């Protein structure tokens, strides 16, 4: 999975990344491997909760239809919901706008023993805000360093930060939007605003390239995940997450003393 990790200081050109690529696996192999990873994640998440030491933050970003919801459903299938929280960041409320842009985000970061998943995140404030010209350039330009400092704080206080850009092609987005429009069961997902955002595709790509280039850090890496194939997208995210949890060397607490000989009537 190292091929998808953005090195700190690297200048990213997303045209160098094929969103339809599936290196290393075919569909059948990936399905079998994902099942194994789901089982392993279930065990690791239970141990994370029991140890009560670490925190994990998973950030999911991507263009409309890139599969943020689907990734959450498939990668976290079977985990105990007691220890996993999902935060979806929509347009800020008036109260949130009256604070600094990270105020609403800091309140949603994981506590000890938790995995928090951000479905969109603080990166909206250097993406949507930039493309839609909601604040002056000097405001969003300053936010890259502020985000790096924020994520450094999280890492220094025990949070493992993993960030995934779900990279889909413009053609694949067109197909997925068409499915939403054509299927009455999925029309609730379609917004006319999606088309306005799609018309700004190049501007969003440019904004993502700068965000990935300026905020992928050793303590908070970005991964550019090929997302045209949903099964491969899920496999990449699950593989990176399980490896990161394994690297924490989580130790479950020892049993109470003097349990030998206890008989449960």
Domains in the chain, CATH or no CATH each: 2-247 (3.40.50.300)
Reported confidence tier of residue 265, pLDDT bands at 50, 70, 90 = confident
Helix H or strand E segment including 43: helix 27-51
> How far is the CA of 109 from the CAs of 26, 55, 121, 213, in angstroms?
35, 9, 11, 23
Q: What pLDDT is stored for residue 174 in this prediction? A: 97
- The span from the CA of 245 to the CA of 84, in Å, is 14
pLDDT digits (tens, 9 = 90+) for 39-48: 999 999 999 9
CA 66/CA 154 separation, integer angstroms = 27
- Minimum mean pLDDT range among 64-73, 121-130, 143-152, 190-199: 190-199
- Rounded CA separation 132/236 (Å): 31
Residues above pLDDT 90, as percent of the chain: 91
Written as six digits, the tokens of 215 are 């905020």
Alpha-carbon distance of 208 to 227, in angstroms, equals 15
Residues listed for the chain: 265
Work out the number of other CB atoms within 10 angstroms of the CB of residue 182: 10
Number of helices (H), then strands (E), in the chain: 10, 5
Given 3-state DSSP classes, what are the helix, strand and coil percentages for the chain, each rounded to the nearest 5?
50, 15, 35
- Residues 27-84 pLDDT 10s: 999 999 999 999 999 999 999 999 999 999 999 999 999 999 999 999 999 899 999 9
What confidence tens digit (pLDDT) does each residue in 80-137 have?
999 999 999 999 999 999 999 999 999 999 999 999 999 999 999 999 999 999 999 9
Stretch (H or E) spanning 77? none
What is the per-residue burial (b if ≥16 Cβ within 10 Å, else e) of 202-223? eebbebbbbbbbbbbbeebbbb
């Amino acid at each position: 999975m190292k091929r998808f990790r953005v090195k700190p200081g690297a200048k990213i050109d997303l045209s160098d990344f094929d969103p339809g690529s599936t290196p290393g696996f075919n569909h059948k192999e990936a399905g079998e491997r994902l099942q194994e990873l789901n089982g392993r994640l279930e065990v690791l998440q239970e141990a994370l909760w029991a140890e009560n030491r670490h925190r994990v933050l998973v950030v999911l970003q991507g263009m409309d239809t890139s599969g943020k919801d689907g990734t959450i459903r498939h990668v976290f299938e079977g985990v105990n919901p007691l220890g996993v929280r999902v935060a979806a960041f929509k347009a800020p409320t008036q109260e949130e706008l009256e604070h600094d842009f990270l105020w609403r985000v800091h309140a949603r970061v994981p506590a000890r023993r938790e995995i928090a998943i951000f479905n969109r995140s603080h990166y909206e404030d250097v993406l949507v805000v930039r493309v839609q010209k909601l604040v002056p350039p000097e405001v969003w330009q300053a936010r890259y360093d502020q985000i790096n400092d924020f994520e450094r704080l999280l890492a220094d206080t025990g949070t493992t930060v993993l960030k995934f850009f779900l990279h889909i092609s413009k053609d694949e987005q067109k197909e997925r939007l068409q499915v939403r429009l054509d299927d009455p069961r999925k029309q609730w997902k379609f917004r006319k605003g999606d088309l306005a955002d799609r018309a700004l595709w190049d501007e969003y790509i440019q904004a993502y390239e700068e965000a990935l280039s300026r905020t992928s850090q050793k303590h908070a890496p970005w991964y550019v995940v090929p997302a045209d194939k949903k099964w491969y997208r899920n496999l990449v995210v699950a593989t990176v997450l399980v490896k990161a949890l394994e690297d924490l060397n989580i130790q479950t607490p020892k049993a109470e003393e003097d349990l030998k000989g206890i008989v449960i009537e």
